[in-house]
Amino acid sequence: MSWDVNKKTTHFGYREVPVSEKANLVGEVFRSVAPKYDLMNDLMSLGLHRLWKRMTISEASLRPGDRVLDVASGTGDLAKAFAKIVGKRGKVIMTDINEAMLSVGRDRLADQGIIGNVDCVQADAENLPFADNYFDCATIAFGLRNVTNKHAALASLYRVLKPGGRLLILEFSHPTLPLINTLYDLYSFHVIPKLGEIITRDRGSYQYLVESIRMHPDQETLKAMMLEAGFEDVDYLNLSGGIVALHKGFKY
């Protein structure tokens, strides 16, 4: 289950590409979709992504004064909610490897007056530029599947968390019922790319997004990866029949 440091290729959707090229290819996808990212999220998930994120916010169990790291923060939905909970004494750092996405998120939060306790840092999840044992909570929502070396990202997240800190991973996963899986496949491969073509004039990026979901580890595999990274009390909650899963683990 360990990442092979000598591995020369990795998956980009269903394609095998050189490891050195994946980050740039993913970057191109998100530079393309950034301007209409929120609209497409609402359309693709029929608004359900808002409920999934509310569950993540609840499970984070934050308190005033906490330090929170939101990795692959995108347009800042979680960061916005976290900033309100931790208050002036707390701190939220939103990161994304993609400057276009981070810029959209930063501008969005600034427009809503949420700037005092939120910092934006362009960063790679595999090598987070933060001190050891610093954050009370770390989250990554719909971003881990785009990371080239997921083992390195999990190790990096573990390092920056305080003892007693917790990691939450919200990600598309594998439906648990055959009927849901069949319907989900039909919707994913026939509707989502077409929506991308109509709304963003970019079918290819949404074809990749659909394929990247299918290539992401299933619930039990991701749980095992978190345990391997050092997290304890790891568990997950299937949402919408397993279309999405919320994994949670602790650093002790």
The annotation places the binding site at 75, 96, 124-125
Both tokens assigned to 125? 């999840």
Half-sphere exposure of 221 (CA within 13 A, CB side): 11
d(CA 130, CA 247): 23
Say if residues 215 and 206 touch (Cβ distance below 8 Å): no
Burial-class residue 6 by CB neighbours within 10 Å (0-12, 13-18, 19+).
exposed
- From the annotation, which residues make up the binding site for S-adenosyl-L-methionine? 75, 96, 124-125
Pairing state between β 91-96 and 118-122: parallel
CA distances from 51 to 3, 119, 127 (A): 33, 25, 30
